[in-house]
Amino acid sequence: MIIKARYIVPIDGPVIENGAVSFENERVTGVGPSHRRTERTSVDYGDAVICPGFVNAHTHLELSLLAGKVPPGPDFIDWLHRLLAARRNELTTEQVTAAAMRTGIEQSLAAGTTCVGDITTAPERTRPILAESPLSGISYGEVIAIGNLRGRLTERLEACMSLPFDSQRLRAGISPHAPYTVEPHALRACAQRAQQFNMPLCIHLLESDDERQFTRQAGGRFAQFLRDIGVWDDAVPMSDCEPVELALRTGVLGPSTVIAHANYVTASDMQGIARSGATVAYCPRTHHAFGHPPHRVRALLGLGINVCLGTDSLASNPTLSILDEMRFVRHHDRDLSSDQILRMGTINGARGLGLTDETGSITLGKRADLVVVPLETAAGAPDWESILETSAQPLAVYGGGEMVLPSQQVRRQ
């Protein structure tokens, strides 16, 4: 198969005008200038841009049926209460969870996402569905172990390990949820298990500034939150340190770790993250919806920290589109270049998930994960960067060489 377009943006090399990408048996076999000879198996997308498939490094696909039911507000902990109530009321059966996963997968693929870092509370239910899809990535089993739930640690770790399918596209990972839901000994156990079995980690860290008082004093609003939901007991320990320092001490932060959000990082926090080699998954529209202060994405990048993009879930975001996230960043932060933004939505995410050998760029031998975005021409000649300025949606999406989003606007040769 050969696909052609006005621009190819390989990520690992210069933009190619009037280019083509060839692929066979799921893998890219060529990328370069288009040859004019007629190819029976070629598709010419004309005025469009071919990019690597987008990488959503932080999402919760199992919450996809909660769209619009728990709108974000200025009080994050109040939103958590509403989210838990919605989960109890809406996500009640295995069939509902399966429907939510399929909805999330379909929306992701339609938006050009071909790789995900998905958090799941029910790996035994969600992983087989994810494995059957064209998506690649990591399925992080979530661990909550605090107060009267600390006895579930072994059970949750075993659930994280289970991979009830044979898939070359999907790996299992571990997600100790957050410093306010996982006690230090459990954080350490997650880190040790991940190291023992070479598994990636993901942790929600400094999503809210209230985490600081909790880790320093085992108090504050998160302590009250745990009391309110009936989890707190008097044996919950005080860490007497900042959240990032706690994650470092327990071994959770390292080169194979994705930090979700990092909304309230200080200079000291960022130095610690930089030393660890961890990746930060910035979720721009969710961040904005909660009214958090401006994200320190440029400072993180300036320290050499790998920053990628996530959508979080449909419980906090109107779409599961990384293209929409990139456009939001482009509109709100003109100091970031188009190249930086596109890398955050592709190769940086692949790097955070440990999948740069497989995806994130259009490179010989990598999976043929490709997205075709049409150019909407304004005055003057179109340029590939204009895909970040318009609202055009993908014409076609290929996952491992399989067309998962057909286009009605192509010219077959």
Do 122 and 9 share a domain, yes or no? no
Do 279 and 317 share a domain, yes or no? yes
Do 35 and 60 share a domain, yes or no? no
H/E segment holding residue 172: strand 170-176
> Domain containing 175: what range?
54-352
**Strand ranges (DSSP E) for 269-410?**
279-282, 307-309, 370-374, 396-399, 402-405
DSSP annotation of 312 reads B
φ and ψ at residue 27, rounded to 5 degrees = -115, 150
Do 40 and 67 share a domain, yes or no? no
Do 164 and 271 share a domain, yes or no? yes
Computed over its alpha carbons, how large is the radius of gyration of the chain?
21
Do 310 and 405 share a domain, yes or no? no
Per-residue pLDDT of the chain (413 residues; tens, 9 = 90+): 999 999 999 999 999 999 999 999 999 999 999 876 555 578 999 999 999 999 999 999 999 999 999 999 999 999 999 999 999 999 889 999 999 999 999 999 999 999 999 999 999 999 999 999 999 999 999 999 999 999 999 999 999 987 755 677 899 999 999 999 999 999 999 999 999 999 999 999 999 999 999 999 999 999 999 999 999 999 999 899 999 999 999 999 999 999 999 999 999 999 999 999 999 999 999 999 999 999 999 999 999 999 999 999 999 999 999 999 999 999 999 999 999 999 999 999 999 999 999 999 999 999 999 999 999 865 456 799 999 999 999 999 999 999 998 744 444 33
Q: What CATH code is carried by the domain that includes residue 232?
A: 3.20.20.140
Do 135 and 176 share a domain, yes or no? yes
Do 312 and 401 share a domain, yes or no? no
- Among residues 154, 216, 149, the alpha carbon closest in space to that of 179 is found at 216
Q: What CATH code is carried by the domain that includes residue 21?
A: 2.30.40.10
Residues in a beta bridge with 22: 2, 30
- Domain count across the chain: 2
φ and ψ at residue 297, rounded to 5 degrees = -60, -40
Do 375 and 348 share a domain, yes or no? no
Residues in a beta bridge with 201: 174, 257
